[in-house]
Amino acid sequence: MNTTQQASAAAKFHAMHQSGCFVIPNPWDIGTAIYLQRLGFKALATTSAGFAFSRGQRDGGVPRDEMLAHIREIIGGTALPVNADFQSGYADEPEGVAENVRLCLATGVAGLSIEDSTGQADPPLYEKELAVARIRAARSAIDASETGVVLTGRCEAWLVRHPDPLHTTLERLTTYAEAGADCLYAPGVRNPDEIAQIVRTLAPKPVNVLVSGFNHELSFSQLADLGVRRISVGSGLALAAWGAFLRAAQDIKTNGKFNLLANNAASADLNELFQEK
C-alpha cells in the first residue's frame, strides 16, 4: 500500500468517527478478516490477544516485529481500513514509542491505538505525565508521516483494576485528547451511566467502547443511544472460537463423544468464501 492509498483509507476511517456509531470487529488472521469484510463491516481492527493465542503466546507476549508482520498481513488481506492494536507502543519512553509508531505506519494502517498500561504489577499504569508524552510522541510521528492515520488513546484503568477507574479514566483520556488522540478508549467499562459520563466529558471527540464477555448484554442500539461512536470486540470473536474448540476437544477426550462437531462451519461454505478471494 502506498502513501496515497493509506491516506485515503485513513480519511475514510476518520469520516466514520464523525457521526453515528459503527462496529469495528477484530479478526485474528487473514481468513477471519476476509469473512468480516464479506459480511459487510466497514473497518477492522487487529487484536493483540487473539493473535497471541493463535501463536501459543500470552497477550503481550508477541514481539514487536512479529506483530508488525501480522498487522501487515491483515491489511494485505482486506480492502477495509484497519486499526492496529499496537498495545503500549513496544517502548516505555516517548522516543521509542515514536520510532515504533513509524514502523507501524509503514504497514499501511488507517489507525492505531496506544495504551497506558506498563504490563507490570507495580506500577500498572505509566505515570500520567509520561503517558501523555507517549501519546504526544505518537501524534508527532503520525503528523510527520502526512498519512492522517487515526490515533486512539487508551486508558487501561479498568483492566488493571485501578481503585478509582472512572476518575482516572476521565482525567487521563481528557489529557490524551489534548495531546492529540483522535479517538478515546477505556476498555473494561461496563456501566451505562459511566459510559455516558465518559462520552459527555470527552465530547466532541469520539469514544470507543469494548464489548466482550464481561459486558455482552450491552447492545449496539443502547451504546449508540449513549453517544458511543465506535464499538470493538477485542479478543471476543477469537475467544468465541476458542470456547467452541475447547468444549469440543474436552468432550472428545473426557466423554468420547463428538456431538459438538455438529455445530461446525461447513467446509463447502469456507471453500466457497475463499475461492472468491
Contact 157, 165 (CB under 8 A): yes
Mean pLDDT of 20-31: 98
Give me the domains of the chain, ranges plus CATH numbers: 3-235 (3.20.20.60)
* 94-147 pLDDT tens trace: 999 999 999 999 999 999 999 999 999 999 999 999 999 999 999 999 999 999
Is there a contact between 37 and 79 (Cβ–Cβ < 8 Å)? yes
The pLDDT tens digits of the residues spanning 140-178 come to: 999 999 999 999 999 999 999 999 999 999 999 999 999
CA–CA distance, 166 with 188 (Å, rounded to integer): 11
Rounded distance between C-alpha atoms, residue 124 and residue 157, angstroms:
9
* Per-residue confidence band for 3, with pLDDT thresholds at 50, 70 and 90: confident
For 207, other C-beta atoms within 10 Å of its C-beta total 27
pLDDT above 70: residue 54: yes
Question: What is the share, in percent, of the chain residues with pLDDT greater than 90?
Answer: 97
- Between 4 and 185, name the one with better pLDDT: 185
**Cell 451504546 maps to which residue?**
223
* Helix, strand, coil percent values for the chain (each to nearest 5): 50, 10, 40
Residue 26 near residue 46, CB atoms below 8 Å: yes
Phi, psi dihedrals of residue 24, rounded to the nearest 5°? -120, 95
Q: How far apart are the first and last CA of the chain?
A: 18
Give me 83's grid cell: 486499526
Query: Measured between alpha carbons, how far is 260 from 203 in angstroms, rounded to an integer?
Result: 46
Q: What is the mean pLDDT of residues 72-96?
A: 98
| pLDDT beyond 70 at 75 | yes
Contact 178, 205 (CB under 8 A): no
Residue 209: HSE in the Cβ half-sphere, 13 Å Cα cutoff = 28
- Average pLDDT of the segment spanning 40-50: 98
- Residue 162: CB partners within 8 Å, gap ≥ 6? 124, 125, 168
* Three-state SS sequence of 64-94: HHHHHHHHHHHHHCCCCCEEEECCCCCCCCH
pLDDT, tens digit, 9 for 90 and up, residues 234-272:
999 999 999 999 999 999 999 999 999 999 999 999 999
- Phi, psi (deg, nearest 5) at residue 203: -55, 140
The confidence score (pLDDT) of residue 1 equals 79
What's the residue count for the chain?
A: 277
pLDDT at 277: 59
Mean pLDDT estimate for the chain: 97
Q: Inform me whether the pLDDT recorded for 2 exceeds 90.
A: no
Segment holding 232, helix H or strand E: strand 230-232
> Span 2-23, mean pLDDT?
95
Question: What are the backbone dihedrals phi and psi of residue 168, each rounded to the nearest 5 degrees, phi first?
Answer: -60, -45
Q: Give the span between the Cα atoms of 238 and 264, in whole angstroms.
A: 15
- Helix (H) or strand (E) run with residue 210 in it: strand 207-210
Q: What does the alpha-carbon distance between residue 22 and residue 14 come to, in Å, rounded to a whole number?
A: 12
